[in-house]
Structure 1
Amino acid sequence: MQNTSRTIVVLGTGGTIAGTAADAADNVGYTAAQLGVESLVKAVPALAGLPLECEQVAQADSKDMGFAIWRSLALRVAHHLARDDVAGVVVTHGTDTLEETAYFLQRVLAPTKPVAMTAAMRPATSLNADGPQNLLDAVTVAGTSGAQGVVVVVAGAVHAAVDVRKAHTYRLDAFTSGDAGVLGVVEEGRTTAWRAWPQGEALGLQWLPVEDDAWPQVEIVTSHAGASGALVRAACEIGVQGLVVAATGNGTVHAALEAALLEAQDQGVTVWRSSRCGNGRVIGRADDVLPSAGELTPVKARVELILQLLTPC
C-alpha cells in the first residue's frame, strides 16, 4: 500500500537521468547532469498533485562521484528522514557509481524509512527515455507502507543496496542483484516485496570527514594473467591505507601480486580479497593469509573498508 498523505522528498544529484543530447535519437553522445530535479519531476504527469518536495544536492556525472557529495547527500537524507511528515526519500543518481552510493548510504544511515534511489540508462531527451518511469516507480516505493532501507529502483525492479550491481553497459535493465535476486518489483503503481527490506545498524555520520583528503585512501587492484606487484608497491609508497584485490574465481591471486599484497599487509595496510567475477562470493578459509570480503563486490568492499578505517573499533 502506498502512503500518499505524507511528503516524499526527491533529492537530485545529476546523472544520465538528468542528461541531455542535441539529437533525440542519440542515447550515447549526451551530456549528463544538465537538468534540475524539479524539471525531472515536472516531466512525469503522474507525479502531479502528489505531496513532493524537490532539492538539488549536487549536479554531477556519477563517474565523478566523490566523498564531498556522499557526505552532503547522507546529511540531507538523514535530515529529511528525521521529519515526521516525510514518508520516504527518492534520490536521482547516475548509473555508473549508483551501487557504491547506495551501499554507502545504507551503511551510514540504515534508515527505518525507505530511501529509493533511481537512475536512467538514456538521457531525458531520448525518444524513449527510461528516467520518467523509473522516477515514478521510485516515488511509489518511497511511499510504500512498511518499506525501509536503501534500495535501487530501476526497470521495474527493486534491488537492496547490499546486493545491487551494474551488469550491462547499455541495456535498460542494466542492474542485477546477483545470487540474492531482486528484492521486489513495481507493477502498475504497486510495490511487491518478495523478501525483507534492508535492515542493519547505522554507522552514523559523525565520522565522515569534511575534507576529501581526510578520507582513508583505499584502492582496488586486479589479479590477472601476468600480474605483478608494481602497482601495490607504488600505492604503498604514496601512503595508501587499504587495498582491495579483485581476485580471480574464489579469491585466488597471482603469486607475484599476492607477495606484494602480503608485504603491504605487513606494513600496516589493510588488504581484502574480493572477486572480479560478476556473481558469487569469496568463501574464506581458516588458513587464508588475506581476508575475504565475502559477498561484497570489489567496489563495495572498497566502500566498506573506507568506512571501517573511518570508524573506531
Structure 2
Amino acid sequence: MNKKYLSKTMAALMLCTSFASFANADKPTVKIYATGGTIAGSSESNTDTTDYAAGKIGVDLLIAAVPELKNFAHVIGEQIANTDSNNINQNILLKLSKSISLQLADAKTSGVVVTHGTDTLEETAFFLDLTVKSDKPVVVVGAMRPATAISADGGMNLLEAVRLASDDGAKQRGAMVVLNDRIGSAFYTTKTNSTMLDTFKATEQGYLGAFLSGEPHFYYEPTKPIDKPYFDISHMKQLPKVKILYSYQDQDPTLLRAAIKDGAKGIVIAGTGNGSLSDVMLAAVQETMDKGIPVVRSTRTGNGFVTPKHEGIGSGVYNPQKAKVLLSLALAQGDSIETIRNYFED
C-alpha cells in the first residue's frame, strides 16, 4: 500500500477520534472483528481482482475508510487475524466465537460484525451460528474485490453490515451473511461462484432480506432453522480432526483409510447426487462406522437434501464444508454416533 496514503489516513483517524467518541455516545455500539481477506486486500493494480494480496489492511484503516459508519453506530474494532481465509483455523475460530460471546453480553453492545475472506466465509459464519448464543446480531461480511480495485465492493458491504448489526429488526435471526446488498442466513448461505459479486446465495431457502440505499429490509419476521443445534465451546481448547473426501468414478477406499490412519475422528464425503457412493466405498464406510468413526455422506452437487443412509449418515441440508463444522463440534462435545445421526437426519 502507498506509504503516503497510509500516513495521511492514520493522521486523519487520530484527529477524528475524540470528536467521533463524543458524537457517537448516543448511538448503538457495534464491534468489528477483522480477520483479513479480500475486503482487506491490496494490489499494485486497480484493475486486479484475482491476484491481489489478501489481509493487508488493518481494522483501523477499514473503519477509517468508511466515515459514514459513525452516522449509525459507535464502532470499535479488534484485529483477530489478518490473513487469507484459507488460513483460518480452529484456533482462530474458537478465539473469535468466545470473544463475540463476551462482547454481546455487554448491555451497551448492539451487535458485532466479522470481516472475512469469502473463500471460507460460510464456514466461519456457520460455526458462529452454532456456537454464539445471543439474540443480538452477528454479521459476517466480505468483499469480492480488494480495497484497491476500481468499484471495490468492500466499503458498501461494511457499511451495510454495521447498519444491520445496529438494527433492532436484526435480533433473533442468528448469524447472517452480508454481501452485494443481500442478507442471508449463515445456516444456509454458501459461496456459489468463484469470482462474481453475487456469489453468496441460499438457492433453496432464499434470502432473509436486502438493502435499499444501505438500509436493511427484511422479508420475514425473525425465525430460526428447524432443529438448529447449539454447542457451548466456552471450555473447548481444540476440535477433533474431521476430513472431507470427494467422490468420483472408480473411487477406492485408499484416501478414506489414510484419513483414519492420520487421526481423523470423523469423515465427510461429498458424494454424487443424493450422497451416492460406489459399492466398494459403501463397504468401506460401513467398516469405518463399525469402528465408531462417524461418516457423513453429503453431496458434491452444491444443492439439495441428502436423505438418511444405512451405510453412514445422510447430511440432510448440510453441504460438505458445513457438515464438517457440525460433525467436528458434535465430536468435541462427546456425542455418540446416534446423537450425531440425529443432528443430520432428523
Q: TM-score, normalised by structure 2?
A: 0.84
**Paired position in structure 2 for 1:259:** 283
In 2: Cα distance, 1:116 partner to 1:197 partner: 15
Map 1:51-200 onto structure 2 (within 5 A).
51-148=74-171, 149-197=174-222, 199=224
Q: 1:280 aligns with which of 278, 291, 304?
A: 304
Amino acid corresponding to residue 56 of structure 1 in structure 2: Q
Moved more, 193-202 or 164-173: 193-202
Q: Which has the larger radius of gyration?
A: 2
d(CA) in 2 for partners of 1:218 and 1:233? Answer: 13
Q: What is the aligned-residue RMSD (CA, Å)?
A: 1.5
**1:37 Cα offset (Å):** 1.1
Q: SS at the partner of 1:146? A: helix
Read off the aligned partner of 2:315 and give its amino acid letter.
A
Q: How far did residue 279 of structure 1 move?
A: 1.2
Pairs aligned (count): 304
Tell me the residue number matched to 1:217.
241
- Look up the match of 2:251: 227
Distance change (3 Å), C-alpha of 1:178 and 1:207: farther
Find the aligned partners of 2:108 and 2:119 in 1 and give their Cα distance: 32
Q: Which moved more, 1:68-77 or 1:42-51?
A: 42-51
Aligned AA for 1:204? D
Q: Which amino acid aligns with 1:247?
A: G
3-state SS in 2 of match to 1:250: coil
2:164 counterpart letter in structure 1: V
Letter in 2 for 1:106: D
Shift of 1:277: 1.0
CA contact (8 A) 1:118 1:138 kept: yes
Structure 1 spans left out of the alignment, 5+ residues:
none
* 2:126 alignment partner, SS class: helix
Relative distance call for 1:196 and 1:267 in structure 2 (3 A) is farther
Q: Show the counterpart of 2:332.
A: 310
Q: Deviations over 1:86-142 (max 9, x none)?
A: 111011000011010011011011421001110001111001101001001101110
Q: 2:285–2:311: 8 Å Cα contact kept in structure 1?
A: no
1:203 to 218, 231, 235: 231
Q: What is the identity percentage for the equivalent residue pairs of Structure 1 and Structure 2?
A: 37
Question: Of the candidates 20, 26, 32, which is equivalent to residue 54 of structure 2?
Answer: 32
The Cα of 1:258 is off from its aligned counterpart by: 1.9
Q: Deviations over 1:45-70 (max 9, x none)?
A: 32135311111111111011100100
Whether the aligned pair in 1 keeps the contact of 2:101 and 2:133 (CA below 8 Å) is no
Q: TM-score, normalised by structure 1?
A: 0.93
Task: Tell me, yes or no, if the aligned pair for 1:244 and 1:298 is still in contact at 8 Å.
Answer: yes
Cross-structure match for 2:15: none
Closer/same/farther in 2, CA of residues 186 and 273 from structure 1, 3 Å limit: same
Return the alpha-carbon distance in structure 2 between the equivalents of residues 254 and 41 of structure 1: 51
